[in-house]
Chains A and B, each alone.
Chain A
Amino acid sequence: MSEEMDSMLDMYLYENGQLLEKLEMTTLEKKDADCFDEADINEFFRVMHTIKGSSGIMMFDNIMKLAHKLEDVFFYIRESHPDNVPHLELVDKIFSVADFFREEFENISEGGEPTKDSTELIEDIDKFLSKIKNEIVSEHKPLPKEEKDEAPTHFYIAPAVTDDAKYFHVHVYYSNDTQMANMHAFALANALKDSVEQMYYSPEDIITNEDSADVVLEQGFKILLKTHQSKEDIEKILSTHVVQTMEITESSKAEFEMGFDIPSIIVGADTIDLGDEPKEEKKKSEEVTPGDYVIDAKPAGKKATLAKDKKPKAPPQSYISVNVGKIDQLMDLIGEIVISESVVLQNPDLNVPNLNLSNFNKSAAQLTKFTAEMQDVIMSMRMMPLTNTFQKMNRIVFDTSRKLGKDIELKMIGEDTEVDKNIIEKISDPLMHMIRNSIDHGIEEKAQRVAAGKPEKGLITLEAKNEGGKVVISVSDDGGGMNPEKLFAKAKKNGIIPADKTINDFTKKEIYQFITYPGFSTNEQVTELSGRGVGMDVVVKNLQSVGGVLEIDSEFGKGSTMALKIPLTLAIISGILLQVGNAKFVIETSVVKEFINMRQFNTLTDPDGQEYVNVRGQHYMVVRLSEKYHIDGAKDKIQEGIMILTEYESQRICIFVDKLLGGQEIVVKPIPKYIKKVDGLSGCTQLGDGSIALILDIATLV
C-alpha cells in the first residue's frame, strides 16, 4: 500500500513538475506580449485542470483549491474573451501560483505534507477574477459564484456539443476488499473524461469525502456520460481498470439530463437499485449549481483574441523518464559489447595465411562504427542541457527587475551546454543568487546609467561553456562594478581581515573574494532581495559540494563577472591518450598548450636531478611519467619521446611521454576507493577497447 502510494506520489510530483515547467516557459515567452493567445489559455487551463485533478486524488487540498481558482480565471478568459485583461498582472498571478505549487511539491518530495495556506492567494486571484469580470458586461451566462472552500464536485469535458452524441449509463462495482475505492473510481472517471463530452458521476464527493469509498463499495460507482464514442470504446477504456463487474447501458438524452434520478427507466439494468440514492444528487445538468460547471460550446462568431506578435514555437523536446539503474545497466552492456567486438574482430582464428577477409573487414568496420556511435549516445544520456536551468533564470530576472523597477535584458549564451544531471540540480540555487545579486547590486538605477553614458536598459549575460574539463557558467552585468577600496574598507570594518593589513597586501581578485565571506554585505540598505549578507557564502558552499569554485572579476564602473567553475565528475571530457611503457594515460586536452617533438632538444639538469627543457628561450620543468610512476619499458632518451607542454593556473610544466595515441572523448570515472589516493591522478576511464587508462591531474602532478 505504502509502496503504491510512493510511486503514485512520485508520478504526481514528476508529472505536475513537468506541467509547471511548461506553464512557466509559456508564460515567460509571452510575458512581453500584449496578451496570451488562445492556445496558451487552453494550455494553462488544461495544466490547472490536471493539477487540480491529481492533487484531488492525492488529497492535497490547498493545491487543489488554488489550481481550481486559477482554472476559473482561465475558464473565464477562454469562454468570455475579455479584452481588458491586465496582461502583466495575469503573468504575475500565474507565477505566484506556480511558485506556490513548486514550494509545496518540494515540501512533499521531502516527505512533508502540503500544509501551506493558499487562502490568501486564492482571495487575490478571486479579486483579479472579479475585476476582469466586472469591467465588461458579459454576454454570457455569468459563471456561478463559488464558495471559496467548496471543492469541485463534478468534472466535465465539453469541447464541442453536437447532436449525434450518444448517452451511456455506466455502473461499476469494486470487490469488497478494494482499498480506497473512491480513488479508483476517480481514476476511472478521469480516464473517461478525455473521450466524453459531458459526464456526471455518483457519489459526487469521491475526492473530498473519504467515506465515499464505502458508498462506492456498497452501491457501486455510477457514471452518466454523453459521448461520441461507441460502447466498445468506452468498454475498452474501462477495461484497463480493475473492477469486479461493470455494466454499460445505452440511455437517452432525456435520461441523461435527469441525472441520477431515474430509478426504473434503465432497460436491462435490473441490478441497479437507485432507491436509496442521496437526495442531493437530484441535480439536472441545466441548472448550474455551485461547483458544477459544464462548459458551453464556444459560441460561433466570437473571435478569439490572439497575441499580436505570435512567434513560431520551437518544437518542444519530448522526454521519457527512465530509471537511472537501467541507464547504468545499458552503459555496462555497451562496454561489454565493445569488448566482445574487439575479441571477435581480433580473433586469432582469423590469422590464417592467404585468407581473403576483405568482405569481413568491411562489415567489421561498419559494426565498429555503429557500436562506437551507440556508446557515445549512451554515455551522453546522463547529460542534460542547461536550457531549463537558464529558462528559470529568465524568470528570476523578470521577477526581480520588476520588483526593483529596473529594466533588464537577459542574454543567454551556450544554454545547450551539457552537464551531468546531478550537477544541474546543485547549481540552480547558486545561479539564482548570483543573478539576483547582479540585478540588485550590479545594475545601477536608470538615471545613474544614463549619466554614465550607458543604455537605460541593463544587460545581464548568462553564459555556459566547456573549458578545461570544466563547465564554466558565468553571470556578467554591465553595471557599476565593484570598488576594491570600498570592499577593502568594509572587510576591515567587519573584521574579516586583520586590522594591520593594507590594501596592497591583496590582489584585486582576492579583494573581490571578500564578498563570499559570511556576513559581508556592502549594500548599505537591506533590500527585500539581498543585502543581508547571506547569499554569496551560500553560493560558495553549494558550489564546493560539487567541487566547484567561484571566480569574481570586476571593473569599477563597467560591470562584474562571476564565474562558476564546476568539474565534470561524470561528464565526458575531451582528452589526449598517451602511452608510457605499457601504461596508458589520458590528459585533458584543455590543459595542453603544445606538443614538442624532442628530436632537436636537449634538457638541462640541476644538481637535485631536476630536468628542464628550453623551448624558445623559456625553461620548463620536465616530469618524466616513467620515473614518477616507476613504469618499466618506457623510453629513456629524451629525443625518442614527445614532450607535452601543459598549463594549469598559469603554471607551465612539460610532461615527457613515449608517444601520443590520439584524442578521445572520455568518461571520467573515479578510481575505486579501495585504492588510496595517488598524486597526479584524478580518475580513470574505460577506453574503446575495454582497457583502462588513468587520467592525469596536472594540478597535483608536481
Chain B
Amino acid sequence: MAEQNVDIQVDEEELVDDSVSTDAKQYMTFRSCSEYYAIELKYVNEIMGIQPITKVPEVEDYVRGLINLRGKIVPVIDVRLRFKQEPFEYNDRTCIIIVSVKNTVLGLIVESIADVVTIKDKDVEIPVTLASANNKNKYVYGFGKVGDEVKLLLNPEKLIGDEEIAELEAAVEDAQ
C-alpha cells in the first residue's frame, strides 16, 4: 500500500496544478458519522444535492439505486452503509458526490460536504496498521493533518471495488 502511494505521488508531480505546490494535494472532505473523510479532488466530478433515487431490487443494501445525471444513469451508494455504519435519514444537507474512478462513474451519498482542503504530502501519515496487507479497514489508506484536525484519506478505488473480490484478494494475499 505504501509503495502504491509513492507511485501516485510521482505521477502527480508531473500533472501538478499551478495553484498547488508540488508536495501537496487537494482533497474534498465530507462528514460521515463523527469523522471527516477526504477524497482526492481529482476523482470528484461534481457535487449535487440529494435527488430522487430509483431503487434497484436485489442488490447490496449500500447500493441505493440509480439517479439520472443529465441523461446519464449513475448508480449511487450510501457511504455510511458501505462502511457498515448505522443508516441515516436523508435531508437537505445530504449530498451526492459524483466520483469517477477507472471509468466508473458513481455517486456517493454523504451526510454533508465540508470543504476542499490542501494537505501537504508530509502531513499525510500512513500508520503501520493501515499499510499492512491484512488491514481490515481497506477504504482508508492514511490520515491527513489539516491544522488541528485529522481527515481520513479514502481510497476511492477500494470504495467502488466489489467487496467480495476484495475479500477474495485479501484471502489470497493472506495465503501467500
Contact = CB atoms under 8 A, between A and B. Distances in A.
A331 B71 CA distance: 7
Given A672-B66, A674-B160, A692-B68, A628 B73 contact: no
B75 interface: yes
B66 A678 contact: no
Contacts of A339: 68
A332 interface: yes
A672 B75 contact: yes
Contacts of B104: 672-674
Given A669-B73, A671-B73, A678 B54 contact: no
A683 to B, nearest CB: 9
B70 A332 contact: yes
| Max chain A Cβ within 10 angstroms of own Cβ: one of B52, B67, B70, B72 | B70
| Max chain B Cβ within 10 angstroms of own Cβ: one of A334, A675, A690 | A675
Nearest to A632: B55
The binding surface of chain A is classed by DSSP as mixed
A679 interface: yes
A684 B73 CA distance: 8
Given A686-B68, A692-B66, A672 B57 contact: no
Contacts of B55: 583, 631
The binding surface of chain B is classed by DSSP as strand
B58 A629 contact: yes
B6 to A, nearest CB: 29
Contact of A675 (B52, B72, B75): B75
B106 interface: yes
Interface residues of A, number: 30
Given A583-B54, A691-B52, A676 B59 contact: yes
| Max chain A Cβ within 10 angstroms of own Cβ: one of B52, B57, B67, B71 | B71
Nearest to B63: A675
A630 interface: yes
Nearest to B59: A675
A351 to B, nearest CB: 19
B73 A686 contact: yes
A681 B59 CA distance: 12
Interface string B32-68: 0000000000000000000010111111000100111
A55 to B, nearest CB: 39
Contacts of A679: 58
A339 B75 CA distance: 18
A692 B107 CA distance: 15
A692 B58 contact: no
Contacts of A584: 54
Interface string A576-589: 00000001100000
| Max chain B Cβ within 10 angstroms of own Cβ: one of A628, A631, A671, A674 | A674
A684 B70 contact: no
Interface of B: 52, 54-59, 63, 66-68, 70-75, 104-106, 160
Given A684-B73, A694-B56, 13 more contacts: A332-B71, A584-B54, A628-B57, A631-B57, A671-B56, A671-B73, A672-B73, A674-B75, A675-B59, A678-B59, A686-B71, A692-B68, A692-B73
8 shortest interchain CB distances as A-B pairs? A629-B57, A335-B71, A332-B71, A692-B54, A332-B70, A674-B75, A336-B70, A672-B75
27 contacts: A331-B71, A333-B71, A335-B68, A628-B57, A669-B73, A671-B56, A671-B73, A672-B74, A672-B75, A672-B105, A673-B104, A674-B63, A674-B75, A674-B104, A675-B75, A676-B59, A678-B58, A681-B57, A684-B54, A684-B66, A684-B73, A686-B71, A686-B73, A691-B52, A692-B66, A692-B73, A694-B56
